[in-house]
């Protein structure tokens, strides 16, 4: 009898141990579900990759390097999110979505007619303690206004459309068997601005020897509202673009390694203005980067490269700069810039150029191109003619409506030279008389 009671007692003890073990396993499993964590390494400065997947340098700190710009979008860059995950369960799921300040955990935010989030990574993210997730910037901005979350656009057409948007990239954790409501959301902010400032207004151009001086009256285009300045007031400068007047649209280069066609062009020596860079001899001109060929017949004030086929604004990119940028001024107070060289060669006297400008902002964006004005660099040979053209009124002559001369130092030097010449002649005559 005693032994039977002992066996029963032992059986009950084993049962208690078994039940306790099950309870512990259940608690540990439940605790693991509650303890899932996800973090993003170096969240404040995420690595940037080119479209081939190689890490690339960012813009300088003065140009908002962490934000996504027009050029970043054109280059089809990616952002690398390095995730650290712990406490995840087998058959759980992690997905990547994006929104503008919305909660993406509920299914209604992701998969209904009223959705406010759009998916930025097609497949589930593999569960791993550490994993890199590379997301194209076009995917991140694909559902931001003026696009819609239900119809995201991650093509190159999205570049230049999204204007100063603070987008959140959401990493959503779904427990096993639950694909409806996310248990956790790790949101990482990404600022996107692909719309540059409005171009300066009041554009004029003055000729010089191997140069064109471009002037404007207002660096922000004079509109004064956020929409006209790309959502920003932090303008950083103005770029000047030149193309031969009446030039046809530039063809795409078929061979990036092709040698440029270069030639020596004679430049007549003559009296120069204060800042001109050419004073006789020859210059080497290469035609692969927008250097001026002969002026097309007609010489009308236009350039097919400064307009688009569909009438949309032209947004200069790095490739556009390489071909047509001919001058630049940094800062938000300048009202003029000198154009002296385009592509691989100088501006040529006697060639008419179409000139346009565009403003830049703190993201490195270049805004839309301005309307075009035309001007022809020319050799300065007659001081009084240039002086009067620039508005000089000495000698009983006045000229109204002209621009202020840029060669004021030249005026002083020429006047001094004339005075010295006259003085020398008078001295020589006096000496002759005494003899």
As a whole number, mean pLDDT of residues 139-160 equals 96
In this predicted model, what pLDDT tens digit does every residue of 322-343 receive, in sequence order? 999 999 998 887 889 999 999 8
Q: Which residue has the higher pLDDT, 392 or 216?
A: 216
**pLDDT > 90: percent of the chain:** 52
Q: Is pLDDT of 38 > 80?
A: yes
Q: Is pLDDT of 291 > 60?
A: no
In this predicted model, what pLDDT tens digit does every residue of 119-136 receive, in sequence order? 999 999 999 999 999 999
Distances (CA, A) of 398 to 67, 284, 360, 383, 391: 53, 40, 39, 15, 7
User: Quick one: which H or E segment has residue 183?
Assistant: none
Q: State the Cα–Cα distance between residues 37 and 31, nearest whole angstrom.
A: 12
pLDDT averaged over every residue in the chain: 78
- DSSP helix/strand/coil, 383: helix
User: Encoding tokens for residue 128?
Assistant: 């791993």
- DSSP helix/strand/coil, 418: helix
Give the pLDDT score at 93. Answer: 92
Give the pLDDT score at 239. Answer: 95
User: Quick one: which H or E segment has residue 379?
Assistant: none
- Which residue is listed with tokens 């690595």? 47
Give the pLDDT score at 165. Answer: 95
Please, which residues bridge with residue 99 across strands? 168
Q: State the Cα–Cα distance between residues 352 and 301, nearest whole angstrom.
A: 8
Burial of 290 (0-12, 13-18, 19+ CB in 10 A): buried
User: Encoding tokens for residue 278?
Assistant: 């050419």
Sign of CA dihedral 44, 50, 53, 57: negative
Give the pLDDT score at 416. Answer: 60
Q: What is the DSSP string of 35-80?
A: T-EEEETTTTS--EE-TTS-B-----GGG-TTSB-HHHHHTT-EEE
As a whole number, mean pLDDT of residues 86-103 equals 93
Q: Is pLDDT of 318 > 90?
A: yes
- DSSP helix/strand/coil, 424: helix
In this predicted model, what pLDDT tens digit does every residue of 203-257 receive, in sequence order? 999 999 999 999 998 776 544 444 343 434 478 899 999 999 998 888 654 444 4
Give the pLDDT score at 412. Answer: 53
Give the pLDDT score at 308. Answer: 86
Q: State the Cα–Cα distance between residues 143 and 92, nearest whole angstrom.
A: 27
Give the pLDDT score at 278. Answer: 39
Q: Which residue has the higher pLDDT, 249 or 4?
A: 249
Question: Which band of pLDDT confidence, cut at 50, 70 and 90, is reported for residue 309?
Answer: confident
Query: Dihedral (C-alpha) 116, 121, 124, 130: value to the nearest 10 degrees?
Result: -120
User: Encoding tokens for residue 432?
Assistant: 């002759």
- Which residue is listed with tokens 């130092």? 409
Neighbours of 64 (CB within 10 A): 20
Question: Which band of pLDDT confidence, cut at 50, 70 and 90, is reported for residue 394?
Answer: low
Give the pLDDT score at 351. Answer: 94
- DSSP helix/strand/coil, 253: coil
Q: State the Cα–Cα distance between residues 192 and 141, nearest whole angstrom.
A: 7
Q: Is pLDDT of 354 > 60?
A: yes
As a whole number, mean pLDDT of residues 177-193 equals 93
Give the pLDDT score at 400. Answer: 40
Q: Is pLDDT of 409 > 90?
A: no
Backbone angles phi, psi at 88, to 5 degrees: -80, 155
**pLDDT > 70: percent of the chain:** 65
């Amino acid at each position: 009898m005693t032994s039977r009671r002992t066996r029963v007692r032992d059986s009950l003890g084993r049962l208690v141990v078994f039940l306790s073990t099950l309870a512990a396993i259940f608690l540990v499993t439940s605790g693991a579900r509650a303890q899932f964590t996800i973090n993003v390494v170096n969240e404040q400065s995420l690595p940037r990759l080119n479209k081939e997947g190689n890490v690339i340098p960012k813009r300088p700190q003065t140009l908002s390097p962490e934000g996504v710009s027009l050029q970043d979008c054109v280059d089809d860059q990616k952002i690398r999110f390095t995730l650290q995950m712990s406490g995840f369960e087998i058959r759980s799921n992690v997905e990547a979505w994006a929104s503008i300040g919305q909660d993406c955990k509920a299914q209604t935010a992701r998969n209904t007619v009223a959705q406010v989030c759009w998916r930025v990574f097609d497949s589930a993210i593999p569960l791993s303690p550490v994993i890199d997730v590379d997301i194209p910037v076009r995917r991140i901005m694909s559902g931001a206004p003026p696009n819609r979350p239900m119809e995201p656009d991650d093509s190159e057409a999205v570049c230049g459309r999204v204007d100063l948007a603070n987008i959140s990239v959401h990493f959503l954790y779904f427990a096993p068997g639950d694909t409806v409501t996310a248990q956790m959301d790790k949101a990482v902010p990404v600022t996107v601005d692909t719309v540059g400032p409005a171009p300066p207004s009041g554009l004029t151009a003055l000729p010089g020897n191997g140069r064109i001086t471009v002037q404007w009256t207002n660096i922000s285009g004079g509109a004064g509202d956020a929409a006209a300045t790309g959502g920003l007031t932090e303008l950083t400068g103005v770029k000047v673009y030149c193309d031969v007047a009446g030039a046809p649209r530039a063809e795409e280069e078929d061979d990036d390694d092709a040698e440029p066609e270069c030639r020596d062009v004679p430049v007549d020596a003559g009296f120069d203005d204060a800042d001109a860079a050419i004073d006789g001899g020859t210059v080497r001109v290469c035609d692969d980067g927008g250097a001026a060929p002969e002026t097309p017949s007609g010489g009308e004030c236009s350039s097919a490269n400064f307009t688009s086929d569909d009438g949309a604004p032209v947004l200069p990119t790095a490739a556009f700069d390489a071909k047509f940028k001919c001058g630049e001024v940094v800062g938000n107070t300048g009202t003029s810039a000198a154009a002296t060289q385009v592509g691989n060669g100088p501006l040529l006297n006697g060639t008419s150029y179409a000139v346009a400008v565009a403003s830049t902002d703190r993201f490195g964006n270049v805004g839309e191109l301005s309307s075009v004005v035309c001007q022809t660099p020319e050799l300065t040979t007659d001081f009084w003619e240039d002086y009067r053209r620039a508005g000089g009124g000495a000698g009983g002559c006045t000229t109204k409506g002209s621009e202020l001369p840029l060669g004021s130092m030249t005026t002083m030097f020429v006047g001094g030279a004339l005075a010295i010449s006259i003085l020398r002649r008078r001295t020589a005559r006096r000496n002759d008389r005494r003899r």
